[in-house]
Structure 1
Amino acid sequence: MIIDPEVVTLSRLQFALTALYHFLFVPLTLGIVWILAIMEAVYVMTGREVWKRMVQFWGVLFGINFAMGVATGVTMEFQFGMNWAYYAHYVGDVFGTPLAIEGLMAFFLEATLVGLFFMGWNRMSRIAHLLTTWFLALGTNLSALWILIANGWMQNPVGSAFNVQTMRMEVTSFSEVMFNPVAQAKFVHTVSAGYVIGSMFVLSISAWYLLRGRNTDVAKRSMTVAASFGLAAALSVVVLGDESGYAVSENQKMKMAAIEAMWETEPAPASFTLFGLPDVENHTTHYALRIPWVMGLIGTRSIDKPIPGITNLVEDAKGRIHTGIEAYDAMLVLREDKDNAQAKAILAAHDKDMGYALLLKRFMDDPRKATPADIQKAADSTIPNVPVLFWAFRIMVACGFYFIALFAVMFWQASKRQLDKRRWLLKVALWSLPLPWVSTELGWIVAEYGRQPWAIEGVLPTALGVSSVTSGQVWTSLGGFVLFYSALAIIDAVLMVKYAKKGPDGLGLWPPSEPVPPMTHVAAHAGA
């Protein structure tokens, strides 16, 4: 049976929409919880009540975001059964373990610590509550680690092997799955991006208070913490992004070539294309502005190793499809005769390429009947959407350098105790609020869209992972998710805006500011 492309497209669209929406909340949770931990540590060390009230106020916004993250995350897991049943069967032995551990941490450890955080202020000592907050921060980040271990395995499927008799990928080394270099690089890069979002969130809302002359004591202290933490996080994102780029060049060469719109292999060291207009039809990039050596240094950590171009990688894919067909044929023989020595030898030699033969399943029932034209079509399908990846990556990188500049300026202003002196700078901070989310969503597009046509890189094509459902059924579930998530979006926006506008004074957490005209006075300095 040839796969229905509409079912595949709709299933991908549904998962993409729910994943991108869920990821609006996850990085803010990862970032703001550490800011709470820092603020509470200052409170315990100094005993100054303003720091406690700061933790309680930002904790309210953290709690709203955390609840939304849990609500949107649960529904994502249902899709593995609804829309991706064969994927769940094929890789469940590997993929299910980190997801199960993450579920235990998210729904037991995190939920317990969140309850203690909110309910324990008058029931626990200062030190005990501080430890609760720090363990909450650690647990939240460890929860993200297991998700990214699972995702990293999809990008680089190490520590596993295909079992002919069960027709499943099975774990051969859990330590390899855990310490997958791609997963580790993704984890540190992703959580650092979350720290940037948390910092920008606190910085922007605090800037809004200063522009209106409200909660100045809380706002300036909050901005100082956010600027310091944000600057460190933004620098880390760039450094760790470089490590992530190296991991991509080692394990996902087509993704790297597509990000660079590198159609032909360049002499080492490859240049970085700062700007250009990728032309998919003619396999060229118009008006390319290149910086010599940069891509070679990032992608290979050397000056003498080339980065393969798209055309060369398509030719390589054609060769792997040919050997993959041999492995596919051997697999079918072993299904009938598990002791066939010749088939075992062929499969052992070419099992790493069988996934490439499965690319043909998108066009025909039996890959062994493929013509040269079919093989060319399958090889061409390994090219992701080059313009989308090219621009998504560059916008993301531009945002990263902008965050470094903004946090550095705000850190300098905080060090001089002049956070309330430049109205234009506060407006810049306020209007920068959406940008970290834009950059992180683009980062996920680069990571996930760039992996296509693979659900599991080199192992399972995305088109083979879908459930046996009709397009009408997927349309129904997609419509339901759109309605559900839209309702959650409205609720979240209303609650966040409502409580941010109330502020610490409106929530009764801190005395209201003196009624002075905004930005016309010299507020008391924000030193602890």
Structure 2
Amino acid sequence: MDLNIVDLSRLQFAITVLYHFLFVPLTIGLSVLIASMETVYVMTGREIWRQMTKFWGVLFGINFVLGAATGIVMEFQFGMNWSYYSHYVGDIFGAPLAIEGLMAFFLEATFVGLFFFGWDKLSKLGHLAATWAVALGSNFSALWILIANGWMQNPVGAVFNPQTMRMEVEDFAAVVFNPVAQAKFVHTVSAGYVVASIFVLGVSAWYLLKGRHTALAKRSMTVAASFGLASSLSVVVLGDESGYLSTEHQKMKLAAIEAMWHTEPAPAAFTLVGLPDNTERKTHYAVHIPWVMGVIGTRSLTSEIPGIHDLVDLAETRIRQGIVAFDALQAIRKAGSSEAIPSDAAAAFEDTGHYLGYALLLRPYLDDPREASDAQIRQAAWDTVPHVPTLFWAFRTMVGLGFFFIVLTATFVYLSARHRLDRHRWLLKVAVGAIPLPWIAAECGWIVAEVGRQPWVIEGVLPTAAAVSDLGAATVLSTIAGFTVIYTILFIIETKLMLAAIRKGPEKDNSPNQKLVPDALAPAE
């Protein structure tokens, strides 16, 4: 397989996923904020909270439509660009995606209509129930998607069938309750809450700077700041849990994030800044904070975190065991029936079969892993190291922004308690300028998760280079160009709709029969 096809297929999927992920966190977070605002309206009966719910609901609706459209395209790529992946693990990976569509997305899509058009047709409690159903649907969608993604990071509850050459579900409960998936879910959802909180905070700050809709803006800022502070703190705590799980299940990812080329005495130091060098395989000008990485990564002062060089040595050993498994697999398949399988081949595969994926790391260099030279095995072992500078800086950008969000939201919680939200214009400008920052942090988090898994599409089971479809470079390049053009157009449309709705502001909702959606999306005056 031409490696250019692998790189192009990865690029195409990265473009579509990162673009789709621009909409997902805002949808998740806004749905809960809107439901919370409507809950206050139902409890107090104050019309300002109904107006807030409708206004932020319009922005949620625009974002929801774009997110649904881009998500559908993304899922089709599994069959188009990653056909062997779909064949190899479709029985496992397809189940959470199907459940997500049937249980979560349909729930969200059904009740979102009732949210927009049911204000004058449902009771207060009935409409509130519909709004919370939208929020639950948004969060359940993320749950099942991240169960599927978490299984790719930590493939549990499945076994390889040498007769069908496919992974098959052995324990679906283990797939659902995969600790990596659960940690990713709560961390990702909390990040979505931060995205929505900073968005609401920034837009509301813009209204205060303009002296418009101040009652709505101040209440929205109070809700967003409080929700954002709690979410920002939870992101840090839940991110720490993800780091701890990486120590157990994805040691190479953790070592690459830290640019830890050699194993250090426990407890390991945290590299605050530095210049990782993939060529020289060392980190220049590193500034270390003693003990921090060891405590975060192992929750102890005595456990070591293995460095990249030691992990490469381990990968080389596993590749050699994988070659034994590959040889045994050929004998098993050649036998044809279970009765004819040689006992030594069956025993060898029983002992080494879980390392079969490591033998497939040699496929970019030769068709038959059994013919690999020592140099090729060593090179394949170094291929298990992801791009260290990318992970190093993406992680630090994400973490740095996370602490900034804590400071920002805590500041506005304090100002809200003192009734001084509009006293400091420079702080309002900071809030407006901070609007794009949580998206940058979210995208960096996704980069850390997915680049850190390379060269595996399924950790330790199936290399990325073995998972792609046999397509021509021209085909993939043309689809990349097409997606880029279409997504750029969609992004411009969405930006214009969002800005138009923000400039126009909330509608006065004096008439019980007033139509929300057409008016709110009308051009600004």
Q: Same fold (TM over 0.5)?
A: yes
User: Which AA in structure 2 matches 1:456?
Assistant: I
Cα drift, residue 281 of structure 1 = 2.3
Indicate the residue corresponding to 1:432 in structure 2: 434
Superposed CA deviations along residues 503-526 of structure 1, whole A, max 9, x for unmatched, are: 01xx44489xxxxxxxxxxxxxxx
Distance 1:493 1:185 in 2: 32
Cα drift, residue 495 of structure 1 = 0.5
Indicate the residue corresponding to 2:110 in structure 1: 112
Cα pair 1:268 1:307 within 8 Å, conserved = yes
Cα drift, residue 175 of structure 1 = 0.4
Q: Is 1:248 aligned with 2:250?
A: no
Distance 1:240 1:106 in 2: 23
Cα drift, residue 283 of structure 1 = 2.1
Distance 1:141 1:38 in 2: 15
State the SS of the aligned residue for 1:325: helix
Distance 2:293 2:268 in 1: 5
Indicate the residue corresponding to 2:90 in structure 1: 92
Q: Is 1:174 aligned with 2:143?
A: no
State the SS of the aligned residue for 2:363: helix
Cα pair 2:35 2:135 within 8 Å, conserved = yes
State the SS of the aligned residue for 1:20: helix
Alignment of 1:224-239 (within 5 A): 224-239=222-237
Cα pair 2:108 2:136 within 8 Å, conserved = no
Distance 2:189 2:129 in 1: 21
Indicate the residue corresponding to 1:144 in structure 2: 142
1:196 to 170, 194, 197: 194
Cα pair 2:29 2:189 within 8 Å, conserved = yes
Cα drift, residue 254 of structure 1 = 0.5
Indicate the residue corresponding to 1:185 in structure 2: 183
2:294 to 290, 293, 296: 296
Cα drift, residue 280 of structure 1 = 2.0
Indicate the residue corresponding to 1:468 in structure 2: 470
Q: Is 1:459 aligned with 2:461?
A: yes
Alignment of 1:7-18 (within 5 A): 7-18=5-16
Alignment of 1:35-434 (within 5 A): 35-337=33-335, 338=338, 339-434=341-436
After TM superposition, the structure 1 stretch with the greater mean CA deviation from structure 2, 480-489 or 225-234, is 480-489
1:485 to 484, 487, 493: 487
User: Which AA in structure 2 matches 1:465?
Assistant: A
State the SS of the aligned residue for 1:36: helix
Cα pair 2:100 2:145 within 8 Å, conserved = yes
After TM superposition, the structure 1 stretch with the greater mean CA deviation from structure 2, 337-346 or 13-22, is 337-346
Cα drift, residue 277 of structure 1 = 1.0
Superposed CA deviations along residues 399-449 of structure 1, whole A, max 9, x for unmatched, are: 000000000000000011110111000000000000000000000000001
Cα pair 1:57 1:509 within 8 Å, conserved = no
User: Which AA in structure 2 matches 1:389?
Assistant: L
Cα drift, residue 46 of structure 1 = 0.6
Alignment of 1:434-449 (within 5 A): 434-449=436-451
Distance 2:500 2:194 in 1: 23
State the SS of the aligned residue for 2:288: strand
Distance 2:136 2:88 in 1: 32
Question: 5+ residue gaps in structure 1?
Answer: 512-528
User: Which AA in structure 2 matches 1:174?
Assistant: F
Cα drift, residue 128 of structure 1 = 1.1
TM-score scaled by structure 2? 0.95
1:501 to 497, 500, 503: 503
Distance 1:61 1:436 in 2: 17
Cα pair 2:329 2:349 within 8 Å, conserved = yes
TM-score scaled by structure 1? 0.95
Cα drift, residue 147 of structure 1 = 0.2
Identity of aligned residues (%): 63
Is the alpha carbon distance of 1:510 and 1:488 closer, same or farther for their aligned partners in structure 2, counting shifts above 3 Å? Answer: farther
User: Which AA in structure 1 matches 2:173?
Assistant: S
Distance 2:230 2:61 in 1: 25
Indicate the residue corresponding to 1:517 in structure 2: none
Moved over 3 A (4+): 507-511
Cα drift, residue 362 of structure 1 = 1.2
Indicate the residue corresponding to 2:521 in structure 1: none
Distance 1:107 1:177 in 2: 20
State the SS of the aligned residue for 1:362: coil
User: Which AA in structure 2 matches 1:476?
Assistant: S
Cα drift, residue 311 of structure 1 = 0.4
Distance 1:150 1:195 in 2: 21
Cα drift, residue 138 of structure 1 = 1.3
Distance 1:472 1:107 in 2: 34
Question: 5+ residue gaps in structure 2?
Answer: 512-525
Distance 1:249 1:285 in 2: 21
Cα drift, residue 472 of structure 1 = 0.8
User: Which AA in structure 1 matches 2:260?
Assistant: M
